[in-house]
Every structure is written in structure tokens, then in C-alpha cells.
Structure 1
Amino acid sequence: MLKLTLCLPLLALACSKQPPPHSNFDEAPLIVIGVDGMTLPVLEPLIRAGKVPHLASLIEKGVGGKLFTDVPTYSPRLWTSIATGVLAEDHGVPNFSEEDEQGNMLRNGLPFTSNCRKVPAVWNIAADNRRDVDSVAWWVSWPAEEIDNGRIVASYAAQVQAAILWKPLLWDEGIPLLTYPNSLQNDINPLLDEGKPKGPLVKEYNKRFGTISPEWKVPFQRDILFRGTFHADRTHQKIFNNLQNIGRSADLRMLYLGLPDVAGHFFWRYREPEAFQYPVPTEMSDKIGGHIDKAYMQVDEWIGEVVANAPKNARFLIISDHGMGPANVTNPSHPQSGAHEEGPPGIFILAGPGVKQQGLLGLGKRKVGYIYDIAPFMLDLLSLAPGSYMEGKTLRYLMTDEWIANHPPLAGIDYRQGFREATTPLVPGEGLDAVFIDNLNQLGYVDDE
């Protein structure tokens, strides 16, 4: 397997230019927050209990419902479809890492990276059409792409980002091409430093989730990995908010958070022990059975900070790639007790200027659309034409009659024309592909067989 590791000449190429802002868009900015694995069966009771006030407020002011997904529910596959509006076979990121002809991950396959993508993402399209763009931690966004009028803080591996960002011996040199423009690295370094595993975020985590005794071996090990996700998410959320205050406010701002997904995978047996066909220790259920709800509450708090820091006329789109429920109910040793193999729907929340106020849609009426509809809808909200090749359709029916009248539909454009060729996966540093696969194994995302 040919392994392409980045080097300094390529790094120098990425910082060769930094175009000045030149947006000609004067309407409501769009803030998109992707929350992996957030599911309405968990969220709705928290809304009723008043425990997620910021998400509840957005739904009350706009609309909330279900976003239907596709299978298999691999995170890189789905989030890339959300960003491109096309099927996995068309965008070129079908899994976490390279596959064989049967669709199984190769034992020594490299993780997919942004250069493997065969079609432009919404950030490419928006930036090419005079829209300012910020994107932070989206799946398969490393290496950070050079886009006019945009700022990218890339993610090599999203839910295992902590194991890579703060890997010992890597910190001094850092991950190349983590940001575009390269100078943005200097702005985010202090926040990356705060996010280190033994940094100040430890107190934040402990305040929300508490600590677990090493005597509980399995929960203790899961807590270590869950802490890493918390540190990565919180760091990216702080970076996202900080970008709002640096230079200019972007027309399209995108942030990925993975905490609810990891919480669901790890802690469902403790949240709902009656769903499992083996005994779950009561003391463990009492201690960590609330971790999933707390993860939702934590994300709600972070979203509240984003809302408070955003322009007053901002439009918000909160989505998840899939839902989740109890899984592996007969296997107490499986690392995942929550999963989503059957493709349960995710959540959809939209609020802001021009959004028809409907609140949480009633039972039987909650299907808003599909993951493939998100990219064309984002483009529509930015007054840009959809991709003529996109699988999904815009969700403009959620907008007011006045907005629709003032924004007539635009004919589709083939944005693939002139887009760079897809190439084989890159590796940001020696051995980091192995770190990626090892951590996915620990998280239970892939089999170790």
C-alpha cells in the first residue's frame, strides 16, 4: 500500500496566498451545526423537561423534525453526502478507510481524506461563488482545502481527533495543513493548547460528567475515550466561536460535534438497562446512566454560546446524520451498547429569518427530508443554484411565502465541471493512520478482525 505522507513543500504551497474577503451576499448568514448521532427519542424528553433550552428555543422559533438517512451509517460516508448532496458512490468516501471490492475495509487501508472526494463540497461551491465560508472539524476535511474567501479548520478523523491532535511527540510539529489559510494555525494554537488531555478542560468535563473509578475497568477505559471526544468538540466549538470574532462574519459557517454519538455508543446499556438481556450493575447505571442526556445538555450549552455570539439575523440549521438506539443487547462485552446500523432518522432544526414557524412537528408529520437534501438547501439559503447532479432537493417548503416569493428557484448547475481530480488518501504524519484505525477499534466503529 502506497502511503503518501505530507511534507514541508506541500505545506508551503498551502500558505502561498490568502485572498481578501469579497462576498457579495447581504442576506442572513447560515450557521450549520452537525451533531453526530443526536436522536429525537432522547432529545424530545429533554425538551419537555426544560433541560435543553437553546435547542428548544430554536425549535419553537422555527421548525423541528426528523432527517432521514441512508445505510450503511458510516460517519465519513454520511457527513460527506450531507456536504455534497450526492450518494457515496458519487462522492468517493464510502467508509472510514479504503475498501476492497466487496465493500470491506482493507486491513492496511488508509483513512479517506479530503483529496479523495470526487465532487465539490458546499464550502467549495459557496466560496467559488463569492460567499465567505468558515468550516470547523467536518468529517474528511483534512487536508484543509485551499478555497478563495474561506477559512477551514480541518478534521482528519472527527470522533478520534483527540488521539491525533494531542498525540505525544506530535504536538511540537503539529498536523500539517490543519488550517486554511495556514496563518490561521497561529490563531487556533492557544485553544488547541487548552484542549490537551490534561489541560483546563478536565475541570469542565468533570463538572458535567464526574469521574469514574479505575476499579470499573471497562467504564473507566470508555471514559478516557469519551473525555477525548469532549476535549476535541469543546476545542472546535471554541475555535468556531473565535473565528466569528476574527476578521469578518462568514456567510456560511459549519461546525461538527461528535459527543452525542460517542455517548450513545458507550453508555446506552447504563441509560436503559432493561433493554439488555444481561445484568447491568445498578451502581454503574446510577453513576453513568445519565451520560447520554448530559452529552445532549452539554451540546445544547455549546450551541447556546454559538447563538449568543452569532449575528442577530443569523439563520441556524442543526442536523444529525442518523439517530440511535440500544444495540448488541445480548453481548455484554461489545464496546457499543448503542448503535444505528438500521439507519434511524436523525434530527433537523431550522430557525431564523424567513423560516416558517411550526415548532416541533406532530407525530406522523416529522419527516422533513433526507440527508441528501441538505446541500442543495444550504445553497438555496445562500441564494445559489443547486447542483444539477445532486441526489437531494432543496427544502424551501420550510420557508415563508414571502421568502419563497423573493427567492425564485434557480436552475441547477454542474459544479463538478473544473473540480480537481480525486487522488489516493494522504497521511498527515508517520503512523497516524494506524492511530486512527486503532482508536476506531477501541470505539467499536470497526471490527478488529
Structure 2
Amino acid sequence: MMSVEGSVKRIGIVYSSSPRLSSHNHMTKLAIIGIDGATYEIIHPMIEAGELPNIAKILAEGVSGALESEKPPMTPPAWTSMFTGLNPGKHGVFHFIGRDLGSYQHSLKNSGSYIGKDIMSLLSKRGLSVGSLSVPMTYPPFEVHDGYMVSGIPMPLTGDSIAWPPDVCDDMHRILGAGYIADVEYSKYDGDTETSKDDLSLYSELRDELFRLEEQRLAIQTNFLRERPTDFYFTVISVTDRCQHYFWKFQDPNHAGYTEEGAKLYGEVIKDSYRLADKFVGEARAIIGDETPIALVSDHGFGPQYHDFHINTWLEQQGYLVRKQVPYLKWGKLHLGGVLHRLGLGFVEKIIGPLGKIPIYRPRMKKKADASDIDWSQTKAFAALHGICVNLQNREPEGIVSDDDYASTIDEIIIKLRDIKMPDGSVACDGIFKKEEIYSGPRTTEAPDLQFQMAGLSCITKECWGESELFALRKNAPISGQHRFNGIFAISKPGVEAGKVIEGMHIQDTAPTLLYAIEQAVPAWMDGNIRGDIYAEPPEPKWDRSPEPQSDLPASSDTDDAQSQSIEDSLRGLGYLQ
């Protein structure tokens, strides 16, 4: 991808230095309202019907356009690319989890992967005060100048570790009259499991909880914008994403799970989530003023999910993945202390002390298939992070594919992916990407070797085990909507070309373009392009030619085991982990 500097040179602009904006008075200089998963395919028809007046005003007064997401269009890499201006090969976030190179394990990703490269850190270092509320991938929260940060997912749902400084949690408790809860605990909704009948009552509880939590966040936003004003404000509304995941089928007659009863109960839920997002926008502008630059962004768009693709079944059928077939006997490990506790002899466990850690092995029958059944000595490729990884020698602990055979193995898998047909006989894969084709930079080694998409992203890989068929129809599984590439971008500020629609904007272009829009220097190390065409006569940008910052914090989660398990369970319920 062309650098920011190269991109503006391309449109024939010559640059010189210009003075920086002053930040001494804490008047908001830029507000970014993220609307997670928002798409113009829903926004425009609602505006035409006379709805979403606050969003409509920004589109009419400002510049807007579709915003192409990352490949694949997942929440973690998309938001991180947006606020760093970097591709995932440089910021290192490809998923909610990351591969632990040298093993077959994964760890939760966190803000340590990119701190210092993000727009919040950059503006803090320049002396601008920063407020950040519920932006994904900002856990653990990190220090910003004269402001605050309340983390977004993935994160513990409660506790004072979710905000910086910690007294922000006390402030939120005061505003709400109760402790702040960051998100719904999705594990109980089990979004990916197909059942014989759709339990419509399940969705009522979920809808009510989603809107209750987002209304609470709106109360926090209103209070913070008034009582904790900052030069730069960034928030993300999550209710739109969650509602489109869980309620898409109720407004889509083409979905196998659509019913008249479901449509009557929940057919307006997605539109209601956009109406709430519009309320966020309106209340923010009422406080910061119409003359303050404001941007609307989303990390990706949305559409239906009609099918699952059983990637592990396919890899087995093609001979790339080999596993032990359940049921089979294996040795299970217990500890003496645990055995005594189960027998009601806890007092003996206390007496023997450290001896309670003595291992006891016993045979047990393994009945449920999972990744532990893989025979790595015969496996050439495996699924990870919604892609495919080669079991490579000197990279994976039990790799069997040599460096010399790596390229031919990748090419062979691509050929076989292209041969896959959907249940209706159409070609399944409409996008197959080698990692070096879509990522660049030192963190590219952490990415899956291949990414692919099927049926316009209406068919999503499912890493389950023991399925005999390659495809399954989505009908009664709670999750019925999935991400698309077409997110949104809009900016309203004095001087932009009112009502203009721009094309070809990529999510990596967001940070450099917004810095440019408020006359801040754009780091030359950013991958994204400055979109000077937001102006009829683009002014000269200012460049920051300092070296790219290097994060010295751990890039994987430092939460304890219980917190990590809770976060993973919730992400699994939302369909992000399997």
C-alpha cells in the first residue's frame, strides 16, 4: 500500500510546514463516534424514510463514503488499523486472540500490541487531552494526557482494572447509581449452536440487556463530555454490532430462520439500535457544538450469515489434517489432594500439605473430539484465526512441512479451496489471500498463512469437530448476521465539501485523514493514505518524520486465568471464538 506521503503526492499537492493547533483550553477539537458494524445499506434507507436526523445532518454537511475493512473484516484488526493507520502486519492484531509462535496455543490480544502507535497516544504526546470510552482493543487501559480511558472489548466486564485513572470507575458508579458493566455476558446465549427449535424468548432478554447497557454508556458520555471535556474524544457504540449479529434473521425473509412471529417481535431491533446510535451522535453534538469537527466511523459493515463451513472436516477430507478418532482411552491426570477433596476427606488434604500435589494417573475414555486429538506428526495444515496455517518445520513445535515445500503446499491448498462448491453448486470461495498479499511488516509472521472468504461472507468457517458434512444451514443458531467489508466514514467540519461522497477509502486511511483534518502532523510511518479530497481545495498537510514508536508492553493479555476464561467464554458466545 502506498504511504501517506506518497498518496498525497499522487494527487499533486506540494506541502510545507504549518502551525499546530493549540490545545490549552480543552475545547473539543475532534470527536470520533464509532458505530460498530454500521453500514450505509441500513443508514441510507432509514434517512430516506425521515429517520436518523443527526447522522443525516453530518452526511449533508460533511463528506462521507464507504470504508473498506481489513481482510478478514474482524473487529480487533479493523479498529486497531483504524486508530493506528497501520496494517495488521505492523500493529500485530489479527483477531481477539494471537498465535503463540513456537506452540499451538493462543493468547488473548490486548493494547500492549500497539501502544504508542495509536491516535490516542500520539495526541497525548503532543499535549492534547484525550478521552476514550469503550473503544475495542484498549484493554488494559493506558495513560493518556489529562483525560481518561474506559476500555472496550475484549476485557473483564467489571472491576476497576477497566479504566484509567481508576477513579473513573467511581465516577461512572456515581453517574449510574451502580457499577459500570462493559458488555453482555454472551456465553449463556451460545450464538453458534444450531438447535431443533428457535427459542424466541431468549432474544427478548438479550435485546433488553443490550439497550440498557448502551443507554448507560450514553449517560456516561453525556456526563463526561460536560464534566471531563477533552481536546480529543473517541467512543464506540456497540449495540449496532450485537443487534446485527443476533437479530439479522428477523428482518431478512431470505434467511432460513426468518418467521413471521420472529419478525413481529424483533423485526425492528436492528433499526432501533441505529436510532440509539443517532441519539448518541445528537447528544454529543449538542454538547460539543456543531462547529466542532466530528467523524462517524465503523469497523466493518454487516449482512446475513446463511451457512457454516466446517473447515476441519474439509482439511481432514483433503488429507491435510489427521486426528485420533473418538472414542479412545487416554490417561487422565489428577492430584492426590483433589481426589481426597472429592471423597469428602478435605481434612486429610490439609494434613498432607504439599503431598496433595502428587499426580495420580488413571485411564479415561475420551468421547468428545477437539483439537487435542490432532496427530501433528501427520498434519500438514490446520485452522487458526479464521484462516489456515501450514504445520511448518522450525516454526510449529511438531511441524512436518519443510521450508522448501511451504510454497507448493500453500498453492495446492489454494487450488483445492477454489474447487469447493456451495450446497447450490456455486463456487464457494470468492477471495483467497496469502498473508504476504494482504499484510506487510514484522508481525506478519503471526498471521495465518492463508485467509479466504466464501459466498460474499454469508458463509463463515466453523472450527468444530466430527461433522460429516462440509456445510450446515444457519437457521436456529442465535447468531444470524456477520461482518462485511463496507463500513462507514463521514466527517463534518468547517471547510469540507458539503454533501460530497468519496470512494475507495480504506480503514487504514482513517487516522492519517483525521489528523490531517484537524491540522495535526501525520506520521510518515503510517500505511494509510491522507484523503485530501475531503476538501474541494486540499490544504497542505504537516508531516511527523519521527521514528515509528515501539511498544514495550506485553502484546498478550495479563489478566488472571479466571478473567481470561470469562473473556473467552463471552467471545465464544458472540461467535468470535470456537
TM-score using structure 1 length: 0.77
Question: In structure 1, what is the equivalent of residue 226 of structure 2?
Answer: 245
Structure-1 separation of matches of 2:122 and 2:38:
27
| Equivalent position SS for 1:305 | helix
Compute the displacement of 1:100 (Å).
5.2
Structure-2 separation of matches of 1:152 and 1:196:
14
Structure-2 separation of matches of 1:294 and 1:413:
45
Counterpart AA for 1:315: P
Match 1:422 to one of 553, 558, 562:
553
Counterpart AA for 1:335: P
Compute the displacement of 1:254 (Å).
0.2
Q: Compared with structure 1, are the counterparts of its residues 32 and 103 closer, same or farther at alpha carbon in structure 2 (3 Å cutoff)?
A: farther
Counterpart AA for 1:350: I
Q: Would the aligned equivalents of 1:127 and 1:150 in 2 still touch at CA under 8 Å?
A: no
Q: 1:72 aligned to 2:72?
A: yes
Match 2:242 to one of 251, 262, 277:
262
| Equivalent position SS for 2:505 | strand
Counterpart AA for 2:570: N
Question: In structure 2, what is the equivalent of residue 390 of structure 1?
Answer: 526
Structure-2 separation of matches of 1:279 and 1:121:
41
> Which residues in structure 2 correspond to 1:223-372 (within 5 Å)?
223-247=204-228, 249-273=229-253, 275-276=254-255, 278=256, 280-328=258-306, 330-340=473-483, 343-358=484-499, 361=501, 366-367=502-503, 369-372=505-508
| Equivalent position SS for 1:65 | strand
Q: Compared with structure 1, are the counterparts of its residues 223 and 445 closer, same or farther at alpha carbon in structure 2 (3 Å cutoff)?
A: farther
> Which residues in structure 2 correspond to 1:71-110 (within 5 Å)?
71-99=71-99, 106=105, 109-110=106-107
> Which residues in structure 2 correspond to 1:146-157 (within 5 Å)?
146-157=143-154
Q: 1:33 aligned to 2:33?
A: yes
Match 1:218 to one of 199, 207, 210:
199
Counterpart AA for 1:380: Y
> Which residues in structure 2 correspond to 1:162-177 (within 5 Å)?
164-165=157-158, 174-176=159-161
Structure-2 separation of matches of 1:409 and 1:98:
36
Structure-1 separation of matches of 2:548 and 2:176:
35
Q: 1:440 aligned to 2:425?
A: no
Q: 1:409 aligned to 2:541?
A: yes
Q: Would the aligned equivalents of 1:192 and 1:235 in 2 still touch at CA under 8 Å?
A: yes
Deviations 1:254-284 (A, max 9, x none): 00111111111111111012x22x3632111
Structure-1 separation of matches of 2:113 and 2:209:
27
Deviations 1:180-229 (A, max 9, x none): 223333222223545768xxxxxxxxxxxxxxxxxx96333344444443
Question: In structure 2, what is the equivalent of residue 12 of structure 1?
Answer: none
Question: In structure 2, what is the equivalent of residue 120 of structure 1?
Answer: 117
Q: Would the aligned equivalents of 2:62 and 2:492 in 1 still touch at CA under 8 Å?
A: yes
Deviations 1:15-63 (A, max 9, x none): xxxxxxx934898711101111111111111000112111111111112
Counterpart AA for 1:333: N
> Which residues in structure 2 correspond to 1:55-70 (within 5 Å)?
55-70=55-70
Structure-2 separation of matches of 1:279 and 1:254:
36
Q: Which is further off, 225-234 or 68-77?
A: 225-234
| Equivalent position SS for 1:426 | coil
Q: Would the aligned equivalents of 1:120 and 1:416 in 2 still touch at CA under 8 Å?
A: yes
Structure-2 separation of matches of 1:77 and 1:374:
14
Q: Which is further off, 425-434 or 41-50?
A: 425-434
Q: Which runs of 4+ in 1 moved over 6 A?
A: 25-28
Q: Would the aligned equivalents of 1:195 and 1:232 in 2 still touch at CA under 8 Å?
A: no
Q: Compared with structure 1, are the counterparts of its residues 28 and 426 closer, same or farther at alpha carbon in structure 2 (3 Å cutoff)?
A: closer
Q: Compared with structure 1, are the counterparts of its residues 53 and 67 closer, same or farther at alpha carbon in structure 2 (3 Å cutoff)?
A: same
Q: 1:179 aligned to 2:163?
A: yes
Q: 1:189 aligned to 2:173?
A: yes
Question: In structure 1, what is the equivalent of residue 313 of structure 2?
Answer: none
Structure-1 separation of matches of 2:54 and 2:512:
26
Counterpart AA for 2:111: S
Q: Would the aligned equivalents of 2:496 and 2:536 in 1 still touch at CA under 8 Å?
A: yes
Counterpart AA for 2:232: L
Question: In structure 2, what is the equivalent of residue 145 of structure 1?
Answer: 142
Q: Compared with structure 1, are the counterparts of its residues 66 and 103 closer, same or farther at alpha carbon in structure 2 (3 Å cutoff)?
A: farther
Q: Would the aligned equivalents of 1:318 and 1:347 in 2 still touch at CA under 8 Å?
A: yes
Deviations 1:58-101 (A, max 9, x none): 11111222111121122111101111010112112211123256
Structure-2 separation of matches of 1:358 and 1:439:
40
Structure-2 separation of matches of 1:261 and 1:428:
25
Q: Which has more strand, going by share of residues? A: 2
Percent identity of equivalent pairs:
24
| Equivalent position SS for 2:569 | helix
Structure-2 separation of matches of 1:181 and 1:223:
35
| Equivalent position SS for 1:127 | helix
Structure-2 separation of matches of 1:25 and 1:415:
29
Q: Would the aligned equivalents of 1:139 and 1:155 in 2 still touch at CA under 8 Å?
A: yes
Q: Compared with structure 1, are the counterparts of its residues 98 and 319 closer, same or farther at alpha carbon in structure 2 (3 Å cutoff)?
A: same
- Matched positions, count: 377
Structure-2 separation of matches of 1:223 and 1:438:
21
| Equivalent position SS for 1:389 | coil
Structure-1 separation of matches of 2:36 and 2:70:
14
Structure 1 stretches of 5 or more lacking a match? 1-21, 166-173, 198-215
Compute the displacement of 1:412 (Å).
3.8
Deviations 1:269-309 (A, max 9, x none): 11012x22x36321111111111111111111121111112
Q: Compared with structure 1, are the counterparts of its residues 240 and 196 closer, same or farther at alpha carbon in structure 2 (3 Å cutoff)?
A: closer
Counterpart AA for 1:394: I
| Equivalent position SS for 1:333 | coil
Question: In structure 1, what is the equivalent of residue 46 of structure 2?
Answer: 46
